[in-house]
């Protein structure tokens, strides 16, 4: 879909994708923004949680059903679903452009959020796990982090899985797992060969949340990210799963985790930030033109103009970077390091743009009826979740210094 020649930018949205983006923009304006005041005032929304679960908690089933129908009718539902399964089969570039639109508001829009690694399902796993997720009947969570294993999961992971006949027995504790209590399938990493660890000794298992060996402290861990906690401690106590609970191959779990992180927690952080930054800019331009001090709108003051200009510069630079890396991923390039770059700058630049926008709004910037502080908290959080800024810099430096 990217007509690339020497004279054209590395990324080019096709007319089809532009049309999907325009529809997305209209849905955001007509359907989601009117729901925003109720969403922000609710004490039920949560961070990092599947769109339909979040929407249902805040607005109830009727709104979920209506938005799901719109999503299916307009072709957004299958944006992450591969063509062979009846989905849109969209490129990463197209997904980035569309997700940017939906991140203009914190009100979530339902679509089939299919983890890229779930396409490693084989045989019966396809009907048991992949299809129900594509159809929206089941949801997943990703369990890598442990109380003593965050930045260095390969070296520090303690959760073990041991073979017993034709079963695996998992023991250990995972922590900070987003949506664990609300998901149906926990994609959990466990050490299966302590000598090899991240080099072939970690395996990914698909565990039903209702497995009697899984216990979750459903109170969750309260954070500043939302009124309802949505990160959990998950204990695996002699949790028995069949052999075919292994996703991919035995020993491939660490690289599957990296594959998931590269797309869902790094590259897609670009559009997640861009939508919020664009909203912050639009709100700031409008506010600054109508807010009068000392006889003139604050938009006439250079101190405010420079903040607006700085937000705009960050948006343009981040969009160019994100779309370029997405197009390179579509061209088959290994973009693990470049995705780390997108995560790093989208979260750091995103937070500084929201900081400017809050400042431009004065006291109103701190009012919870506006989405600005929520956006700020999401972007500031993302400098930690999914791999900290320090770890992203470490990955980039590692590539620079490699022989």
Binding site for ligand FAD (CB under 6 A): 48, 142-145, 150-151, 176-178, 223, 225, 231, 381, 384-388, 390-391, 394
- Alpha-carbon separation of residue 29 from 8, 17, 101, 331 (angstroms): 31, 18, 10, 33
Residue 156: CB minimum distance to ligand FAD, A: 8
Instruction: List the helix and strand counts (H, then E) for the chain.
Output: 14, 10
Nearest-CB residue for ligand FAD: 150
Residue 160: CB minimum distance to ligand FAD, A: 17
Residue 381: CB minimum distance to ligand FAD, A: 6
Single out the residue of 278, 308, 359 nearest to residue 300, CA to CA.
308
Report the distance separating Cα 268 and Cα 255, nearest Å: 18
Please report where in the chains the tokens 């006949």 appear, as a residue: 165
Report the distance separating Cα 382 and Cα 399, nearest Å: 22
Q: Specify the residue, 52 or 140, whose C-beta has the smaller distance to ligand FAD.
A: 140
The length of the chain is 403
Residue 163: CB minimum distance to ligand FAD, A: 24
| Contact between residue 190 and residue 184 where contact means Cβ atoms under 8 Å apart | no
Q: Specify the residue, 145 or 299, whose C-beta has the smaller distance to ligand FAD.
A: 145
Residue 300: CB minimum distance to ligand FAD, A: 40
Q: Specify the residue, 150 or 200, whose C-beta has the smaller distance to ligand FAD.
A: 150
| Contact between residue 217 and residue 232 where contact means Cβ atoms under 8 Å apart | yes
Phi, psi dihedrals of residue 160, rounded to the nearest 5°: -120, 145
Report the distance separating Cα 148 and Cα 135, nearest Å: 36
Report the distance separating Cα 40 and Cα 35, nearest Å: 9
Q: Specify the residue, 344 or 360, whose C-beta has the smaller distance to ligand FAD.
A: 344
Q: How many CB atoms lie within 10 A of CB 254?
A: 23
Q: Specify the residue, 233 or 372, whose C-beta has the smaller distance to ligand FAD.
A: 233
Q: Specify the residue, 10 or 384, whose C-beta has the smaller distance to ligand FAD.
A: 384
| Contact between residue 85 and residue 7 where contact means Cβ atoms under 8 Å apart | no
Report the distance separating Cα 64 and Cα 279, nearest Å: 24
Q: Specify the residue, 145 or 192, whose C-beta has the smaller distance to ligand FAD.
A: 145
Residue 201: CB minimum distance to ligand FAD, A: 18
Residue 140: CB minimum distance to ligand FAD, A: 10
């Amino acid at each position: 879909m990217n007509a690339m020649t020497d004279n054209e930018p590395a990324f080019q949205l096709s007319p089809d994708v532009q049309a999907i983006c325009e529809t997305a923009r209209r849905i955001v304006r007509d359907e989601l923004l009117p729901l925003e005041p109720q969403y922000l005032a609710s004490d039920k929304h949560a961070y990092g949680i599947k769109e339909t679960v979040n929407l249902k908690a805040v607005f109830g089933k009727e709104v979920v059903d209506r938005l799901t129908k719109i999503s299916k009718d307009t072709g957004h539902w299958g944006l992450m679903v591969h063509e062979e399964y009846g989905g849109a089969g969209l490129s990463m570039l197209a997904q980035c452009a569309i997700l940017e639109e939906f991140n203009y508001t914190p009100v979530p829009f339902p679509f089939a959020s299919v983890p890229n690694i779930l396409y490693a399902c084989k045989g019966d796993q396809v009907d048991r796990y992949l299809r129900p997720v594509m159809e929206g009947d089941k949801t997943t969570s990703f369990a890598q982090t442990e109380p003593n294993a965050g930045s260095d999961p390969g070296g520090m992971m303690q959760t073990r899985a041991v073979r017993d006949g034709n079963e695996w027995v998992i023991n250990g504790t995972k922590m900070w797992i987003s949506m664990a209590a609300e998901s149906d399938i926990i994609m959990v990493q466990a050490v299966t060969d302590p000598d090899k660890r991240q080099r072939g000794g970690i395996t990914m298992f698909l565990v039903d949340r209702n497995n009697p060996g899984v216990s979750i402290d459903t109170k969750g861990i309260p954070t500043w990210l939302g009124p309802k906690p949505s990160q959990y401690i998950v204990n695996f106590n002699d949790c028995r799963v069949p052999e075919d609970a292994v996703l991919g191959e035995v020993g491939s779990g660490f690289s599957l985790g990296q594959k998931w992180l590269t797309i869902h927690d790094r590259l897609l952080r670009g559009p997640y930030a861009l939508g919020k930054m664009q909203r912050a800019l639009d709100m700031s331009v409008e506010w600054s033109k109508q807010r009068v001090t000392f006889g003139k709108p604050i938009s006439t003051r250079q101190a405010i103009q420079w903040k607006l200009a700085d937000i705009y510069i960050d948006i343009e630079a981040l969009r160019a970077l994100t779309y370029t890396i997405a197009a390179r991923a579509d061209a088959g390039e290994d973009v693990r390091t470049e995705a780390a770059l997108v995560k790093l700058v989208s979260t750091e630049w995103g937070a500084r743009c929201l900081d400017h926008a809050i400042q431009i709004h004065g006291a109103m910037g701190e009012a919870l009826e506006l989405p600005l502080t929520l956006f700020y908290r999401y972007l500031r959080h993302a400098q930690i979740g999914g791999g900290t800024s320090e770890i992203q810099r470490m990955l980039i430096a590692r590539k620079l210094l490699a022989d």
